[in-house]
Amino acid sequence: MTASPETVSPGTIPSQAPQVTRRTPLPEIEPEPTGPLAQFLVGTFVAVPLLGLLAAIPLAAIWGLISWPDAVIGLVFYVVSGMGISMGFHRYFTHSSFKANRGLKIALAIAGSLAIEGPVLTWVADHRRHHKYSDKEGDPHSPWRFGNDWKALTKGLGYAHIGWLFNPNRTSQAKFCPDLLADRDVRRISKLFPLWVAVSLLLPALIGGLWTLSLVGALTAFVWASLVRICLLHHVTWSINSVCHTFGNEDFEVRDKSRNVAWLAIPSFGESWHNLHHSDPTCARHGALKGQIDISARVISWAERLGWAYDVRWPDGSRLSGKLTGLRGKQLGSMTDRQLVRPDARKPAPQAATSGDRNAA
């Protein structure tokens, strides 16, 4: 029988176990680090697509082993998986830039998983921790972690691009994405990540084989539409962590090193307008200045018109104008004010007048 505090004898040493309450803060790093098998799999998913790219270049140059089916299949899967990362994992799941109906939510979670950048819960937890500590101690992938001189920054770029993936510390999902852990659909899709990896690798080969009715067509589709496509998307995504926190333009005031990099805008679907994103993280449109192409913002606007997305957080011109640095004389493009949502519906209520350039990426 356990003695109550009132009956503990003077010579008894009370238990030192901490009392966990609802107010006890959750740890930001999981107590159990990533195991050797998980790190081996990360290395495999980093190295194998890169080897596929290296093998595809001489094949194309010498034997011309690339065809229209390979190009079309690869482009389609690149757009689907890339939009799954940009519009889905990033703007929707991480930052709640808009709300989505269940069908769009599931589609975005699966599409992002096809990029093979990790399960949705892992991806979101890491990225939310990145925003909490952006370019400071605690940021999982800042290129400035080793210092500011060229040697330290060179080392930091490599770490921010790939090296951080092998850090055994795992971001706590309970701490950084409890909202998604409470979503049964998201939990299931995240748990089924091995299935989406298999689909992403094998489905292009199956389509290529059926398209050409040949094993050669299946093999070349696997090389180009699976391995090369995944490799390119990986390095575009990782460049947002490394390049866009080192080089580029600071058009908006931020507390970190986030920058805009124009040449990455199209392959990243607008993610490389990273400076505005860190200035206003929940904004659904990252390329808010004149001439900035933001493909994800355009697709979000289409989804909003179809009623699949609602409560979209479009740029607020009055707020963003005060954050412009004025260093390059850039001005905000035409943007649409946020629309009010009727209390009896989840679709935006019609307005008498709207700005005409919401869809202009």
Q: Nearest to residue 123, comparing CAs of 246, 43, 241, 228?
A: 241
pLDDT at 230: 97
Q: With cut-offs at 50, 70 and 90, classify the pLDDT of residue 351.
A: very low
pLDDT over 60 at 2, yes or no: no
The model's pLDDT over 304-313, given as tens digits with 9 standing for 90+, comes to 999 999 999 9
3-class DSSP string for 87-129: HHHHHHHHCCCCEECHHHHHHHHHHHHCCCCCCHHHHHHHHHH
Q: What is the pLDDT of residue 54?
A: 87
Distance CA 105, CA 85 (A): 12
Q: Give the span between the Cα atoms of 333 and 25, in whole angstroms.
A: 42
Q: What is the mean pLDDT of the chain?
A: 87
Q: What is the mean pLDDT of residues 299-319?
A: 95
Do 92 and 281 form a contact (C-beta atoms < 8 A)? no
pLDDT recorded at residue 96 = 98
Burial pattern 232-246, b for ≥16 Cβ within 10 A else e, equals bbbbbbbbbbbbbbb
Question: Do 276 and 321 meet the contact criterion of CB atoms below 8 Å apart?
Answer: no
pLDDT, tens digit, 9 for 90 and up, residues 176-234: 999 999 999 999 999 999 999 999 999 999 999 999 999 999 999 999 999 999 999 99
The string over 334-350, giving b where at least 16 C-beta atoms fall within 10 Å of a residue's C-beta and e elsewhere, is ebbeebeeeeeeebbee
Q: How far apart are CA 231 and CA 279, in angstroms?
A: 29
pLDDT at 58 over 60: yes
Cα–Cα distance for residue pair 10/294, rounded to 1 Å: 70
User: Above 80 in pLDDT, residue 70?
Assistant: yes
Distant-in-sequence, close-in-space partners of 100: CB < 8 Å, separation ≥ 6: 92, 108, 303, 308, 309, 310
CB atoms within 10 A of CB 24: 9
Whole-number Å distance between alpha carbons of 110 and 279 = 29
Comparing CA positions, the residue from 303, 308, 240, 319 lying closest to residue 275 is 240
Q: Could you tell me the pTM of the whole model?
A: 0.85
Question: Cα(122)–Cα(186) distance, rounded to whole angstroms?
Answer: 11
Q: How far apart are CA 285 and CA 288, in angstroms?
A: 6
Burial (CB count within 10 angstroms: exposed 0-12, middle 13-18, buried 19+), residue 198: exposed
pLDDT of residue 179: 97
